[in-house]
Chains A and B, each alone.
Chain A
Amino acid sequence: MRGLLIKDAYTIIKQTKVLLLITLIFAVVPSDFLFGYSVFYAAMMPITALAYDERAKWDKFAGMLPYSVNEIVGSKYLMGYISVGIVFLLTIFSKFILAAINGHMPADAVITIVMIMCLALIIQAVNLPLMFWIGVEKGRMLFILLTVVGMTVFMTALTGMDLSIFFIEEKYLIAGAFLLTIVCNVISYQISKKIYTKKVYS
């Protein structure tokens, strides 16, 4: 799988230098909003790599190499985790530096970062099967449509509701977010493998 990750890394580094730089800068700037941007860009990296694969018809060639479907599909997920992981570590590092300078760490700093990271990885889990299924161009449009519809339904459902019933202790919130992220990614990976097998090997 290392060969596949190296290929994607070369593609991303060469093709999206500016975006990569912005992602890294946003990761270290002390702003949760910019961190959000940064981590979502990171989670989009495998999709960018997939777009270049599509253009080169790499899938056909990859099928001839000594890689299994698990490795080919898994490499894209792993790439997302590595990208998000790098952003996470950079952000944590910058937070600690800032805390050392200011003499205190904001209480909700880490929890916000963890929650945003989990959300980005859940979005990656939704995104990747779509991209494997209908390709990056159409997949992106479908994802935007799903997000708009999902958000509209969600906001409508919340209107007028007493939100205090959703109050959850921090530790349960983090555990729940982790669990949901893992479940979504495991299901997503299994779906992507099935889609990829059907699409490429039929």
Chain B
Amino acid sequence: MNTADVGMTIGGTEMYETQTNAIEMKHVTKKYASFQLEDVSLTLPSGCIMGLVGENGAGKSTTIGLIMGSIRRDAGEIFVLGQDNTKKEFDAVKEDIGVVLDEAYFPEVLNAVNVNQIMKHTYQRWDEKQYFDYIKHFSLEEKKMFKDYSRGMKMKLAIAVALSHKPKLLILDEATSGLDPIIRDEILEIFNEFTREEDHTVLLSSHIISDLEKISDYIAFLHQGKLLFCEEKDRLLEEYGILQVTEEEEKDIPKEAIAGRKQGKYATELLVKRSKISDAFEIECAGIEDIVLFLARKGE
């Protein structure tokens, strides 16, 4: 098992505990003719939820494919639940991973009952009762063919499958897109519930940053194949703020404090690092969406 020392402060004394990492990517590179995922390193500790953010084509699905070993990397190392994912033994580790993909489905003539039979003979710890509980909870018709499902229904079925074999790690690629806000909220609550177990972890990629902000402990931001940051959400919210300034005022701000800039008609909006700027400035709170948009703009 791969472990990492995670620092925490209790009563002013810095303590260290050894925590297992569910996912570790070290300097991973994947080159295609028209796209390159460059030197990506990220660590997702067990028991946490990580939101993977990025525009279309940023490399989110490629990253998930690399983590699951369904895409071969050109360089770097990946450990999932402590196992090198290029090893043969990783096939057995997949028993502990529930995956939802955004565009890979079951053959269209199958229905939820057929899927139960297939998965019963695929996963050793398949829980039929739990699966049908989810089917009922998501209001899915058991006998309806997959081809007659809406995109939202397909995602719900895929989520039911991912959750019904007692996984330790959930990997979800755009799992909440195409769902209405009410069911999206319910599903996010299910993911949240899932991580109440100490060794349960979630990696969730989404365009809907507000969803990720709601439940994530960590945010990783991929932009044009590069990982711009992978940070604790609370640390990001603490570190960054928004400052509205005039051109004159901007001159007084240290350059290293400016992480992003947006020129408005009457004022300039800056994403600033709070630690590098005087308290005299009136800094507004920045949401994850603000941080991501500012940094993406800067990256271009």
Contacts and interface: CB of A to CB of B under 8 A. Distances in A.
A60 B107 contact: no
B111 to A, nearest CB: 9
Interface string B117-137: 111111100000000000000
Contacts of A202: 71-72
A104 interface: no
B60 to A, nearest CB: 14
B68 A64 contact: yes
A3 B122 contact: yes
Interface in B66-104: 68-72, 88, 91-92, 94-95, 97, 99, 101, 103-104
Contacts of B171: 64
Given A64-B97, A66-B123, A55 B107 contact: yes
Contacts of A93: none
B70 A60 contact: yes
A64 B99 CA distance: 7
B117 A56 contact: no
Interface stretch (A9-17, A142-150, A174-182): A9-17
Contact of B107 (A2, A58, A63, A200): A58
A6 B117 contact: yes
B154 to A, nearest CB: 10
A52 interface: yes
Interface residues of B, number: 32
Interface in B169-209: 171
Contacts of B68: 63-64
A164 B103 CA distance: 59
B257 to A, nearest CB: 43
A56 B122 contact: no
B104 A2 contact: no
A3 B118 contact: yes
A25 to B, nearest CB: 22
B280 interface: no
Interface centre among B65, B92, B104 (most CB of A within 10 A): B104
Contact of A7 (B72, B88, B94, B107): B107
A52 B108 contact: yes
A56 B95 contact: no
Contacts of A61: 99, 101, 104-106
B23 to A, nearest CB: 14
A66 B91 contact: yes
Contacts of B123: 66
Contacts of A171: none
Given A58-B106, A68-B91, 6 more contacts: A3-B120, A4-B118, A7-B114, A11-B110, A15-B109, A201-B71
Interface of A: 2-4, 6-7, 10-11, 14-15, 52-53, 55-61, 63-68, 200-202
Interface of B: 65, 68-72, 88, 91-92, 94-95, 97, 99, 101, 103-110, 114, 117-123, 146, 171
Return the 9 tightest CB-CB contacts between A and B, nearest first: A63-B70, A3-B122, A60-B104, A3-B121, A61-B104, A64-B99, A66-B94, A2-B121, A14-B109
